[in-house]
Chains A and B, each alone.
Chain A
């Protein structure tokens, strides 16, 4: 059997199976194609098309194998488009997401590789464009890297800890009502309703207390009385 004939059979089978509402199984005919008449690439393509047909019917195992198998092809397409090595993973992720969203557009009678390559190539162009925009917007200044200390070095970490201790101390000095409001709404991130329930206060009172507390804290931490 020639591959063309197989493809023809699948086209015919596809829509009718759908019209009858029958669950679609993986077309076994795909595997039955004689190996000597088609190249290894074509055979792999047929296999992926069969997996996708199964995935369209809800077969999760076939879908996972297909997606894992597709990563190399997506990367190859992206490289051909001129995507830098460090951005290849972005293209792979975006392409996989698009494949998932538009999986119903694949026709199992046609080449899966052509379908996937078209999507990957589009996503590669999107990534190239977004990187182009980012590069234009952001300034690379080697000197700035040298002049400014890293945010995450040891001294910055110590400084943050000291600030936290100062804030904690300042909160402890607040009147009980205000302290309660800060702890409930600020630190525990509760909603007004939850805080009102657990403290037995009215939401209006909590709001007023929080407002006053924040003003006191701002003054105290800024060194004012």
Chain B
């Protein structure tokens, strides 16, 4: 076996540099850490806005409730997939995990535009729709940054795919948070703004996050 001999100098150097390391926590525990931060923000929003508007909207228009459920499950599955994909040797099939819930989220939001308007709630105008766009993006930025920072401690060998999961997780978590203080009925322009915000968040993550995560 001459092969190890040829690399013996490097192996000796690495051996001499060896220090004990703190092993990475399992992906689900790391995902819980990030979700806990989202939960704290949600709690603050609940204290500020209360839950009654959200529950009223869901009672009158169950499709909005389904969309919110889809967004919540997408946030959980996407962040789990991101942490799993950041560990070498784990199957790439984890990237499919958020797909069903993302379809529920998008599908139910789309249906919301087709049904009749909720009586008693104002219909959204373009100004409010812009507000949604700014809300989703401004919450996604710190959530994505936190996630990228956490993921950099692992070793994402597929940085772009991991970054897409990061974007999906932050965008869906922000959409959930928006749901708490969203006191208007869904319209086509609202849906369009949501879709635009999510596309921006996922796209920017894929472009920048991929680069930030690819140091390994």
Which residues of A line the B interface, CB within 8 A? 11, 14-15, 18, 23, 55-60, 63-64, 67-69, 71-72, 75, 89, 92-93, 96-98, 100-107, 110-111, 114-119, 122
Contacts and interface: CB of A to CB of B under 8 A. Distances in A.
A115 B15 contact: no
A96 B7 contact: yes
Nearest to B27: A107
B127 interface: no
A105 B88 contact: yes
A115 B88 contact: yes
B199 to A, nearest CB: 28
Contacts of A119: 88-89, 155, 157
A93 B3 CA distance: 11
Contact of B23 (A18, A75, A100): A18
Interface of B: 1, 3-4, 6-8, 10-12, 14-26, 29, 86-90, 154-155, 157, 216
Contacts of A92: 3, 7
Given A104-B23, A105-B155, A122-B157, A89 B14 contact: no
B89 A58 contact: no
Dominant SS among interface residues on chain A: helix
A98 to B, nearest CB: 6
Contact of B7 (A60, A71, A111): A71
B153 to A, nearest CB: 8
B108 to A, nearest CB: 36
B216 A60 contact: no
A114 B11 contact: no
Nearest to B16: A60
B155 A107 contact: no
Contacts of B12: 64
Given A60-B16, A119-B155, A89 B6 contact: yes
Interface-central residue, B14, B20, B25, B157, by most chain A CB under 10 Å: B14
Contacts of A23: 20
B4 A114 contact: no
A18 B22 contact: yes
A64 B22 contact: no
A117 B20 contact: no
Contacts of B26: 11, 15, 107
Contact of B157 (A15, A67, A72, A118): A118
B88 A63 contact: no
A58 B23 CA distance: 12
A57 B154 CA distance: 18
A93 B17 CA distance: 16
Nearest to A68: B4
